[in-house]
Structure 1
Amino acid sequence: MLNQKRLSRNEVTLVFMVLSFVYIYPLVHADYAYIDDNWRALHQAQDAWRNQGRILLEVLHRFLTFTGGTTNIFPLPLLMSVFALALAMTRLTLWYFARPCIFSCLVVLPVLCNPFFLGNLTYQFDGPGMVFAVVAIIYALTCGVEHAICRSLVSALLIAVSLSLYQPTLTLFVGLAIVEYVCGVKNRMSTREALSLVAQRIAQLIVGCLIYALTAYQMAVDRRGDFSVFDAGWFEVAGQKLFFAMEQVYLLINSGAIFFTVFLLVGAALAFVFFMRNIFDMKGGVASKFIVAVLYLLGPLILLLSIPGVMLFLAEPNLDARTYFGFSAVLIFILFLNYEGLGRVFSAARWVLVIPILFMFAFCYAYGQVIIAKKELEMAMAQYIAKDIVSEGALKSIPVFYLVGARTGGNWLPRGHDAMSYMPVLRYILSSSNVLLHPQFFPRLGINNVVGGHRDAFNKLVASGSVGLPILDTKYYWVYVASDAGYIVMKEIHDSENYNDNP
């Protein structure tokens, strides 16, 4: 059958290039400044990347822009990084499958099409570096150097490179290694080879982390990457993070996706149990087979833990979608087992794998529409404020305005309400850090004197009597004047987001 035709390396690469560029089109089309993009575009990055232990991201951006600053050349870096990822996914496909077909490519595609990866791809400055970090992880896993020690050193170095671009990618290496291990059991490798493979991956992981700790991590001064204290309370905090992550994953399963989700999970479970029987046929002693079986059974549990991944061990309380690199490996694991299981029942049944891929593409395009809606609302809000600043007599001569954001409602989005009702995880991916309006948004409207303000500082001025009645009181914000500064204070938005609630 045509769909089962063995693909050459070039054909596999072509498949990934076409699908990858179709997938990222909504993000390129939206051209949305996401969270940090607003201030990085104004060359305010300074040493932020190196202070987070991500020095190679700074080097990468300077190399791509031929500047010493943070010049925005979007979408060129994203296109380049996705091209590199297409090559890496080709390599991973050939690593897992001796005779790859079009469906083999679909199994590996979630490396890019992980719904929780959309936030990473949206970043115009950080995003390409995160993609290159994934590329480094894949090359670390598929390193083909013949000598074992040299191969492990090269893999460890690539892991360190990935960490120097974006640290949470570490969990992707763990997840992909588990898929590799299950693939080895399916192929009935000897128990000695299987255990040697596990030992090599663990060694590569440890050495890679050590290289990173002794190099790029030495520049880190940002406390977000600090490890949490390992005490009795750690298990409770880690458990809460894991439970929260599982809740967000569950939100992906909307009413239209329940049937095929259950089908894929049941199919994966049956295939997992079926391939476990191969352990009895593997060459090796009883003790080694027992260890292989234990590790095999631990695989799904480790995959689940890899979804929040390293965030379980960090003091950082925020658990944003962009850290869920391990979910890519979970999706690959499920699709791989279904690919192998369905192929043994009826090869044409592998067409089922097209459905989850279509879901991922539909989800991405829905997200693209949501960030366009967000961009339009931000523009409208900024225009309302800009008009008041340039037209109100009492505000024209104010040298600086402090923008004090609302405590809630950062992702209040009437135009996106319908999409986020049917796909609730879209709101989570949009991120609570993505506030309604950033002060760095105003320069594009010719307003160059709006900077970030703090509500606590403003409240102290109010308490001391330094701020009187507002000069302007609109639906969405107040404008106050105190001394030689203005304060734009955003109101809490309590209006219904649903347009259909109107009588």
Structure 2
Amino acid sequence: MSTPAPWARHLSQREVQVLCLLAVGLHLLPLLLADHFYIDDSWRSQMAGNGWTQEGRLLSDWLYAGLSFSASAPNLFPLPLLMAASAVALALARLVRHYFVAPQASAVLVVLPLWYNPFFLQNLSYQYDGPAMALAMAAGVLAITLEPSRRRNLVYGALLVAASVSFYQVTINLIGGLCCLEVMRQVVQGADARQVVRHATGRLAQLFGGCLLYVLGGFQLMSPVRTQLLAFDHLWLAAIGQRLGLIAERIGLLVTPGTLWFSLVLLVLAALALTGEITRVVRGDQSPLSRLVLLSGLLLPAPLVLLLIPGLTLLFADFNDGARTLMGLATPMVLVLLLAHRLLDNWSPRLPGLLVVPLLFMLSFSFAYGRILLVQKELQQSLAFSLAHDISSRPALASAPRLYLLEIGSSGQWLPAAAGSFKVMPALRYVLNINFLLLPEMLPRVGLSNFASHAPLDRQQVEARSPTPVIDSKFYAIHLVDGIGYVLMKVPRDPETYRW
């Protein structure tokens, strides 16, 4: 008997796990090489600070307490991220076996967008928060792999959902989207109407049970600012529409001339597969009511999956449209690949391997983003070294009891060394989301430990009381007021485009 080709061979659970570990590790490599302190990481590393409990993320505090054997959170990077990424890889491998009874190598490609989601890179950029967000994903994926037909799985699933949300609340959008996929899969796999309804009810029980446990626990610890909902008045619908439009604009950044062709091909393949399933249900011999239920199980989850890209973040007064809140984008990606895989596999066992194309783009995006982080790191280090030299070389500044750094609001993400990458992959700028040149928390790394926050004077008051700066450079001006130093950052005026 001839040996099947590598892409057509059925994989064991161990082989699926190895493939997922390799895929996740390869995607993570650029972030490990960059070793960049991303926003909150600077102050957390300096202070060994945690403080996630008041954000409703109790398990994040417990994670670092357990790893550091203390009540604080010293910087342990990359250990927590490597552990969390391994947990995600194993959860993805379990999901592959959940989706495919006898998975081939191409089956792994279907679930990888959960981790390869380009916007999830912003979550992983945080050396402190990234591991917790990854563990949130792992717990949510594991909950989906538990069939809700058994009472024990309902309880375990709810506990995993609660744990996932206790690590990172936004994960509920991802879990909800995966629950929608589960209902669609039931119909695609030939379940009858009663089984579909029972499965959907079980998934809702897992989801709402986990949310209830979280509301009774971690939610009670969250600060009121984070729990305030958008005012439900005559402007509510307009505000929701505006937010959805903004999210669509952000997602549209991923569509470029280089990605448009395979995006359209995938959408067409998924539409053909879905149309085939609809036709099968319509022509079936079930009762009209059963066919209506089955059609609802096919058609209703699709718009819900799209709505769950921003999900619950739409409803809060403090709306954050950052890339890290769009974990739900991975769910429609998985849905499209799942449908496309089914259609291609029916045509030929070799064709599902073509799904590597969108995954290769996501992997390239990760490596490009890692280089961007490295460029950002080099610019910030250069400015910090320059500032440290200017301060130490002026006795009046070096002896100042206190120094303050005042940003001007936003530097417009000025990063000339990355201009070419930003042009080719515009979503990189959105994922990077660094609109400052320096933060005062970064300066202890260059020996400036007397910088403080909450300056007593604003920029206008400083310039009024000290019209002539002690130092006036391209990126900042340093003023002395009553012996206190104020570093006023400037907005770079030079264009990002390099002139050859």
Please, what TM-score do these two structures have when normalized by structure 1?
0.95
One-letter amino acid of the counterpart of residue 24, structure 1: L
Name the counterpart of 2:461: 461
Misfit runs of 4+, over 6 Å: none
Please, what TM-score do these two structures have when normalized by structure 2?
0.95
The offset of 1:288, in angstroms, is 3.1
1:104 aligns with 2:107: yes
**Please, which moves more after superposition, 269-278 or 336-345?**
269-278
> 1:61-104 CA deviation, whole Å, 9 max, x = no partner?
11112222120010011110011011100111111111111000
CA contact (8 A) 1:248 1:425 kept: yes
The structure 2 residue matched to 1:409, chosen from 408, 411, 421, is 411
Name the counterpart of 2:127: 124
1:24 aligns with 2:25: no
Summarize the Cα distance change of 1:338–1:219 in structure 2 as closer, same or farther, 3 Å threshold: same
Output aligned runs, 1:219-238, within 5 Å: 219-221=221-223, 223-238=225-240
The offset of 1:146, in angstroms, is 6.2
One-letter amino acid of the counterpart of residue 414, structure 1: P
**Please, which moves more after superposition, 136-145 or 247-256?**
136-145
Structure 1 unaligned segments of length 5 or more: list them: none
CA distance in 1, matches of 2:142, 2:284: 28
The structure 1 residue matched to 2:41, chosen from 33, 37, 40, is 37
Q: Tell me, what secondary structure is at the counterpart of 1:366?
A: helix
Summarize the Cα distance change of 1:205–1:144 in structure 2 as closer, same or farther, 3 Å threshold: closer
CA contact (8 A) 2:159 2:210 kept: yes
CA distance in 2, matches of 1:132, 1:154: 16
Q: Tell me, what secondary structure is at the counterpart of 2:478?
A: strand
The offset of 1:2, in angstroms, is 2.3
1:482 aligns with 2:484: no
CA contact (8 A) 1:62 1:69 kept: yes
CA distance in 1, matches of 2:284, 2:413: 54
Output aligned runs, 1:373-452, within 5 Å: 373-432=375-434, 435-452=436-453
Q: Tell me, what secondary structure is at the counterpart of 1:230?
A: coil
Q: Tell me, what secondary structure is at the counterpart of 1:42?
A: helix
Output aligned runs, 1:73-84, within 5 Å: 73-84=76-87
Summarize the Cα distance change of 1:410–1:70 in structure 2 as closer, same or farther, 3 Å threshold: farther
CA contact (8 A) 1:97 1:104 kept: yes
Name the counterpart of 2:70: 67
Name the counterpart of 2:330: 328
CA distance in 2, matches of 1:363, 1:233: 38
> 1:483-502 CA deviation, whole Å, 9 max, x = no partner?
131110001112101113x6
1:9 aligns with 2:13: yes
Output aligned runs, 1:78-477, within 5 Å: 78-144=81-147, 147-148=150-151, 150-221=152-223, 223-280=225-282, 285-432=287-434, 435-453=436-454, 457-459=457-459, 461-462=461-462, 465-477=464-476
CA distance in 2, matches of 1:204, 1:419: 43
CA contact (8 A) 1:188 1:282 kept: no
One-letter amino acid of the counterpart of residue 319, structure 2: P
CA distance in 1, matches of 2:190, 2:453: 60
Summarize the Cα distance change of 1:301–1:166 in structure 2 as closer, same or farther, 3 Å threshold: same
The offset of 1:409, in angstroms, is 1.6
**Please, which moves more after superposition, 178-187 or 126-135?**
178-187
The offset of 1:4, in angstroms, is 1.4
CA distance in 2, matches of 1:95, 1:20: 19
The offset of 1:227, in angstroms, is 2.1
CA contact (8 A) 2:402 2:452 kept: yes
Aligned residues: 496
CA contact (8 A) 1:191 1:283 kept: no
The offset of 1:144, in angstroms, is 4.8
CA distance in 2, matches of 1:462, 1:73: 39
One-letter amino acid of the counterpart of residue 91, structure 2: A
One-letter amino acid of the counterpart of residue 218, structure 2: A
Q: Tell me, what secondary structure is at the counterpart of 2:458?
A: helix
Q: Tell me, what secondary structure is at the counterpart of 1:480?
A: strand
CA contact (8 A) 2:48 2:74 kept: no
CA contact (8 A) 1:378 1:437 kept: yes
The offset of 1:277, in angstroms, is 2.5
One-letter amino acid of the counterpart of residue 439, structure 2: H
CA distance in 2, matches of 1:327, 1:452: 36
Q: Tell me, what secondary structure is at the counterpart of 2:257?
A: coil
Q: Tell me, what secondary structure is at the counterpart of 1:257?
A: helix
Summarize the Cα distance change of 1:281–1:451 in structure 2 as closer, same or farther, 3 Å threshold: farther
After superposition, the CA RMSD in angstroms is: 1.8
CA distance in 2, matches of 1:249, 1:291: 32
CA contact (8 A) 1:171 1:325 kept: yes
CA distance in 2, matches of 1:232, 1:493: 42
> 1:224-283 CA deviation, whole Å, 9 max, x = no partner?
342222222221111111111111111111121111111111111111111223334778
One-letter amino acid of the counterpart of residue 490, structure 1: M
Name the counterpart of 2:495: 496
Summarize the Cα distance change of 1:392–1:18 in structure 2 as closer, same or farther, 3 Å threshold: same
Structure 2 unaligned segments of length 5 or more: list them: none
**Please, which moves more after superposition, 403-412 or 191-200?**
403-412
One-letter amino acid of the counterpart of residue 257, structure 1: T
Q: Tell me, what secondary structure is at the counterpart of 1:435?
A: coil
